[in-house]
Chain A
């Protein structure tokens, strides 16, 4: 510890602290622009100049390390004169167009100019004008306002992992710009809007739509991936105008993914369902809530009476709130059905009934950063979990070794220690090889099922990396969880972690992937899981928040089964043509922004939130709709007055973390027999198509990550199919369904694999995410 005196106040700070960190510890504000606690130190804006005893000139507080006994003066004449001098320089070429600047009212330059600027400038010369840049559909630029603090540049290089922005030219002509003809395409690009201390980078979707002081603010929680990023939802007249990160070092730090930041545009999509609707004689009619609820209750009661409760299936979105899932399963069970599931994209349910508890990350999110050896199994990590990828990126920079075992070698923008890329059917065997190799290194006997595999060089390299550290972790991604042998992968991951003395867990697919288990939204002993209830069509379905044709492992099958069903009751914030085709009744329910609720994130953290805006039109919170449905069906235990009461019953209290977390499987068996098929499908869920809200976010749909699906193959597979990149490929999925997609070279894929995105209307007809395809030149 070092002792430092700042403005006469003494304090102890950790070795290596800078003056600005020490000042913050004391609550003393030092004006700054380029400094940001998450970014490297640039020391270029010079706004944080302070006086340091014995130093001949003012020192930048952001870059000057504290020495023992140092005396700092942040408000001395020398310091303030230096700060005022810098402010004058910052303003001479700044356009001072605050009245037409979106940053007005929340601008660091504007704020500090009040404290350190003069009311008139002695600068009488012409001001600089800088051409604007096209950074894509999300970030708007007014580069003349730029003060060249380089925060955005450092963000893309250090946090997002690829330096998409740079400073060209020099001196007064210096300009921040992307590569020529390129935009900023990282899945984290929106953060540069927050980082920009002036109005140079602003939100394109939000542009000119409101002033910051007109907006109401509510804390909320992201409804997208399993991280559960904390949000500030900003509304004007009950319309969500903007979403910003709420800093939570344990969860999202100060970042948001673009999906979380811009998905709010989907909330005001033209496809919002705003009135209850029922289908009568093949015609859709808008009706009152009472009519629609009666209609739904009758339909379900009739099916239950005629065919038994088991004829009803419940498909719940993993993005639904804990309260919604809890009430939905209660409703279905009340009707006598155990066919309830929220794991819509899963295809292996063999661990059901053997789980010791709720599957989860296996550690706290912050623990990820403490692992020194990590194996990520079956994950499109950068797109599925951008902020966890970001944490691993920083870990790798600190010296952690990250390895990947997957069916696609996408650039994670993380320095990898080792990788093994294999066709989906070979992933379990590949992981078994790693287990065997680690056992050999550790001198432990391997599971007999594993002992038979031959260890490849890639698996050996992963094993050596994992075994060389002191704190290992194995993370199973979405692809591993959706894999047809997901349970085998899990058992192997468990064995691997146990051998290494490390931890393993799941990267939560969706906002409530843990919460679904907690809410009991999984089939009971006699019930059918998501795949089974679609494979074996039910008479009736209750769909909560999901679009099964896009959200299920086999969208085509889901669509067929729903279409066949006698009654489909849909609770959704949106309507779609598919829904209008298969549903009998559409109940408009609130998206996350218009209801109170709870998401349990991937580490088991219980995060509740209130509605940020009034429900649109006649929309009602889904928990209320389900409660009333329960009442109408005369089911007991539906007397809830608030979502908090539902939560209390579901969780048995209000814990910070749920208590049932356990990744263990009793008697888990290994199935390593799968042989490689020719042309296995690798299906990713593109980041902007993963759920019904983001699919309708207009700006995100124009982003680079929203490109139309293609049939991606490596060079050998392309050649085998007689294709060149860019050719039209006819893709068949066994049955009669074929479709034409552009073929695209993807050098990161293994042989015999075709990568075609799921969750997309264009590829829906291909059916199961995991399947064998035929590909030929169209």
Chain B
């Protein structure tokens, strides 16, 4: 089932028909491309359009939460060649919202991108789709064909003097290509490695030209914002956290999946929508914004509402909205080992602290998990993360460091137990029971 539960659906309005509702006629039937038509017919000024998006306080849905309208306003007006790029390289463990957006409603992304191109004056756009969802890439190509055939893409769109074309580009599965400048390098055919900033993409982006790059969900939200007005969209959420957001809830809940709720919805409500804890077990910890966000223990998390500010106040990040729920059967050392392995594997290798540090972190955590930890290891891990954070071109080093620091901070006793007793605080039988693959007590 495409859609499980939602409050105030916008992005997910088209999901109810599942795979049967993605095509152009379905999208048009639910009001799709109306905003594009309105903008072109009324010859809306670029400034007014950007002002409307600013009013909505739409913040980038890819993870950094940068105000979208403000980002668009950075694009130099006079530049002759500009690009709009969509980041569908959804690589963050725990995140799977863009995949469903592309699957059930690709035209909302296309319309959002066309409107964005209009706002910033771009003639060409790319949607970079990560290689693991090749089906979605193919569907997006189909959707592009439909849009082109209907005159929404190409020269003189809908008879206006605005021309824009959009292409799909699929990656091969490197996490680092989700970093916006790494993504641009990858489109250019180079090794996906982030660029040093400044200059930022708005000045020096794809092929050295000014480029606006936003997340899939951000683009998808644009038609809805223009449909209801920026202010109304903002009011759906809470101040400084406009609109609704997709949350990918995974882990030890009864109904993992994507949930669209207004910003500011209590975490408890989201957990309830996801069917509550699996097997009625106790909530232990939540990573609220994708694997690179610091973990929060249950008591802190239960007090949070799902918006940028509340989660930040609790010491983590809303990130991409990937909510990873862990119950009491989880060994936090083992969980961290898996996360650290991911960052070790995905570091691009460009900057020394990340290339060398991510492997060091993984090896030490691995050692602790396997009963070879040393008393000084926790200090060592903290020191190594100190030397990584903020010392690299992109945020991957920070992303590798945050889990390590937060896991140790909130679950130090588990690590100490591991080092001292060479085994898990959480009984392996209990862990096995919680994993979902084995039934507790079964022979």
Interface residues of A (CB under 8 A from B): 41-47, 49, 56-58, 60, 63, 65, 82, 85-86, 88-90, 92-93, 122-123, 125, 147-148, 166-167, 169-174
Contact = CB atoms under 8 A, between A and B. Distances in A.
A91 B38 CA distance: 61
Contact of B349 (A43, A58, A125, A167): A167
Interface stretch (B21-29, B144-152, B311-319, B388-396): B388-396
Interface of B: 174, 176, 191, 196, 198, 344-360, 363-364, 367, 376, 380, 383, 386-387, 390-393
B190 to A, nearest CB: 10
Contacts of B364: 125
A125 B373 CA distance: 12
Given A43-B196, A170-B176, A86 B355 contact: no
B345 A123 contact: no
Given A86-B353, A88-B387, 13 more contacts: A42-B196, A43-B393, A45-B352, A46-B392, A57-B390, A63-B196, A86-B391, A89-B352, A89-B357, A122-B380, A171-B349, A171-B358, A174-B349
A413 B227 CA distance: 54
A506 B390 CA distance: 53
A166 B196 CA distance: 19
8 contacts: A82-B387, A85-B391, A89-B356, A122-B380, A147-B352, A169-B349, A171-B358, A172-B358
A764 B266 CA distance: 89
A60 B196 contact: yes
A238 B356 CA distance: 44
Contact of A171 (B345, B392, B393): B345
A172 B367 CA distance: 18
Contacts of B367: 125
B390 A58 contact: yes
A172 B355 contact: yes
Contact of A123 (B344, B360, B390): B360
B400 to A, nearest CB: 10
Contact of A82 (B198, B346, B349, B391): B391
A391 B211 CA distance: 32
Max chain B CB contacts within 10 Å: which of A46, A88, A169? A46
A172 B348 CA distance: 8
A170 B347 contact: yes
Contacts of A45: 351-352
Q: Is the interface of B mostly helix, strand, loop or mixed?
A: helix
A63 B194 CA distance: 14
Contacts of A148: 349-350, 352, 355
Contacts of B380: 122
Contacts of B349: 148, 167, 169-174
B391 A57 contact: yes
Contact of A44 (B174, B176, B351, B383): B351
A60 to B, nearest CB: 7
Contacts of A166: 191
Contact of A125 (B348, B355, B363, B387): B363
Contacts of A46: 351-353, 391-392
B354 to A, nearest CB: 8
A122 B352 CA distance: 17
B358 to A, nearest CB: 6
B69 to A, nearest CB: 25
Contacts of B191: 166-167
Given A43-B196, A125-B363, A171 B391 contact: no
A120 to B, nearest CB: 13
Contacts of A167: 191, 349
Nearest to A44: B350
B66 to A, nearest CB: 17
B349 to A, nearest CB: 3
A45 B351 CA distance: 6
A170 B391 contact: no
Max chain A CB contacts within 10 Å: which of B347, B355, B358, B383? B355
Contacts of A44: 350-352, 393
Given A43-B196, A57-B390, A125-B363, A171 B346 contact: yes
Contacts of B386: 85
Contacts of A63: 196
B356 A170 contact: no
B299 to A, nearest CB: 30
Nearest to A128: B359
A92 B356 contact: yes
Contacts of B198: 65
Nearest to B376: A122
Nearest to B354: A171
B291 to A, nearest CB: 16
A171 B397 CA distance: 11
A139 B8 CA distance: 65
A125 B374 CA distance: 13
Contacts of A122: 376, 380, 383
A552 B197 CA distance: 56
Nearest to A43: B196
A122 to B, nearest CB: 6
Given A171-B346, A171-B347, A90 B356 contact: yes
B344 A171 contact: yes
Nearest to A122: B380
B391 A172 contact: no
Nearest to B348: A170
Contacts of A42: 196, 350
A90 to B, nearest CB: 6
**5 tightest CB-CB pairs across the interface, nearest first?**
A174-B349, A85-B387, A57-B390, A171-B347, A89-B356
A92 B355 contact: no
Nearest to A126: B363
A171 B358 CA distance: 8
B359 A171 contact: yes
Contacts of A93: 356, 359
Nearest to B356: A89
Nearest to B349: A174
A90 B350 CA distance: 12
A147 B356 CA distance: 10
A373 to B, nearest CB: 24
B391 A58 contact: yes
Given A57-B390, A85-B391, A172 B196 contact: no
Contacts of B356: 89-90, 92-93, 172
A92 B360 contact: yes
A530 to B, nearest CB: 51
A93 B347 CA distance: 16
A65 B353 CA distance: 22
